[in-house]
């Protein structure tokens, strides 16, 4: 056993989060793609079976009341809230991240002071965020200003209505300065909208503490809600009275079953609802969140940094110099919970890794991505993945 293997074993033995791995359905594969799709918590299938057979199969429509279906979007939102540093009553679950981005950007322009006509957008944002922001700008008469997050303070001004930013860059894993950038947007008089897809469940966010106005995020990555699980929308309490959704659906009506032609919005985060909740995936998400009971996000962050540090150390030790280059920042304050390595021939390299039982993913043309989910990834996984990468790169080309 190598020194690094021995260290991995010792680190796993001392890891206070290690027992959580048993809560998930996993095998001998090293699964480093939880930043795209989290692993299945073991108890979720039984919960879904109960929903299907009793709540839907027996109670049928009575379950909207008797099984709590109707209030699920707010109830589950309150369970997500502690993971992103929000008090109860500010998060509603439902729709996709894309739909919630659209709601948030349009609502931000309506919350902004009159006369402002610019929406700043992270120039390297996940494509859908950019597409939707551009559509929102066309609809509201605003102008899109693409800008790198580091340059946001210099790009802000009296014309800034809102800024849509990513907490963690999906390609590189770079963690952006949410507190500092939010403060800069506010100092310019704008509204700060954050996409938390690659940070929620992996590191502290602090929405309330840092005065974020609006935020959106998915639940199928580090929150392990399952493929296509519903996203969420955060509306800070101070904005809820003025929050004006561009999608005023019937379930966000103050009296939805009155079926009146005129729209009167409900109070609070319920304004963020649109149509009938997607109950099956929503209740699967609710069950998945049980794995977080008693888990502190600070402990998750500490393990995430230790895991990514150790993986980078193993890569440096095993992989021949010059074959890969990390594009993920070394500084902890600038790192999310993934490691992105630039590698020539990334696509066949990742295919070979998967064939060896190490599952990550890639971003074309040349970036290998390895996501570290601290609830179920261990240090032995990190060492094995680095060793497999070295083997693949040492193998003769086919």
Whether the CB-CB separation of 289 and 76 falls below 8 Å is answered with yes
Q: Which of 170, 220, 372, 379 is catalytic?
A: 220
Which distant-in-sequence residues (6+ apart) come within 8 Å of 294 by Cβ? none
Exactly one of 122, 129, 195, 381 is catalytic; name it.
195
103 given a catalytic annotation? no
**Catalytic annotation on 159?**
no
Q: Which residue is catalytic, options 24, 126, 170, 376? A: 126
Catalytic one of 79, 103, 221, 384: 221
Select from 365, 173, 196, 387 the least CA-distant residue to 297.
196
Bridge partners for 343 per DSSP? 324
Known catalytic membership, residue 65: no
To the nearest 5 percent, what fractions of the chain are helix, strand and coil?
45, 15, 40
The number of beta carbons lying within 10 Å of the beta carbon of residue 46 is 10
Are residues 223 and 276 in contact, defined by beta-carbon separation less than 8 angstroms?
A: no
Strand pairing of 118-122 and 160-166? Answer: parallel
- Of 271, 369, 384, 387, the catalytic one is 369
Which residue(s) pair with 214 in the sheet? 193, 235
User: Residue 220 catalytic?
Assistant: yes
- What are the φ and ψ backbone dihedral angles of 183, each rounded to 5 degrees? -65, -40
Annotation says 370 is catalytic:
no
Catalytically active residues, by annotation: 126, 195, 220-221, 369
């Amino acid at each position: 056993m190598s020194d690094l293997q021995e260290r991995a074993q010792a680190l796993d033995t001392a890891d206070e989060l290690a027992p959580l791995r048993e809560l998930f359905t996993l095998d001998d594969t090293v699964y480093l793609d939880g930043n795209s799709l989290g692993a299945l918590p073991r108890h979720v299938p039984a919960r879904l079976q109960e929903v299907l057979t009793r709540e839907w199969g027996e109670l049928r429509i009575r379950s909207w009341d008797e099984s709590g279906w109707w209030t699920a979007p707010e109830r589950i939102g309150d369970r997500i809230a502690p993971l992103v540093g929000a008090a109860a009553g500010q998060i509603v679950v439902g729709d996709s991240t894309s739909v919630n981005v659209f709601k948030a950007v349009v609502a931000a322009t309506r919350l902004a002071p009159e006369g402002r006509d610019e929406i700043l957008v992270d120039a390297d944002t996940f494509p859908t965020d950019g597409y939707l922001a551009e559509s929102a700008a066309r609809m509201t008469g605003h102008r899109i200003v693409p800008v790198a997050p580091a340059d946001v303070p210099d790009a802000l001004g009296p014309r800034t209505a809102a800024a849509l930013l990513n907490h963690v860059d999906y390609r590189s894993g770079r963690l952006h300065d949410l507190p500092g950038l939010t403060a800069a947007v506010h100092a310019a008089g704008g509204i700060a909208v954050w996409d938390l897809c690659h940070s929620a469940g992996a590191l502290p966010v602090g929405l309330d503490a840092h005065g974020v106005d609006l935020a959106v995020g998915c639940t199928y990555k580090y929150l392990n809600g399952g493929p296509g699980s519903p996203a969420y929308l955060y509306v800070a309490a101070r904005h809820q009275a003025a929050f004006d959704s561009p999608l005023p659906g019937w379930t966000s009506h103050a009296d939805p079953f009155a079926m009146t032609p005129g729209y009167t919005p409900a109070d609070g985060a319920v304004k963020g609802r649109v149509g009938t909740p997607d109950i099956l995936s929503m209740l699967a998400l609710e069950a998945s969140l049980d794995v977080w009971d008693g888990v502190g996000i600070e402990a998750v962050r500490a393990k995430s940094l230790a895991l990514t540090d150790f993986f980078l150390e193993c890569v440096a030790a095993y992989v021949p110099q010059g074959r890969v280059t990390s594009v993920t920042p070394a500084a902890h304050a600038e790192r999310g919970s993934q490691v992105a390595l630039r590698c020539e021939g990334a696509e066949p390299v990742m295919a070979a890794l998967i064939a060896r039982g190490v599952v990550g993913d890639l971003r074309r043309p040349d970036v290998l991505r390895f996501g570290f989910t601290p609830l179920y990834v261990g240090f032995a996984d990190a060492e094995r993945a680095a060793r497999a990468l070295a083997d693949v790169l040492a193998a003769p080309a086919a």
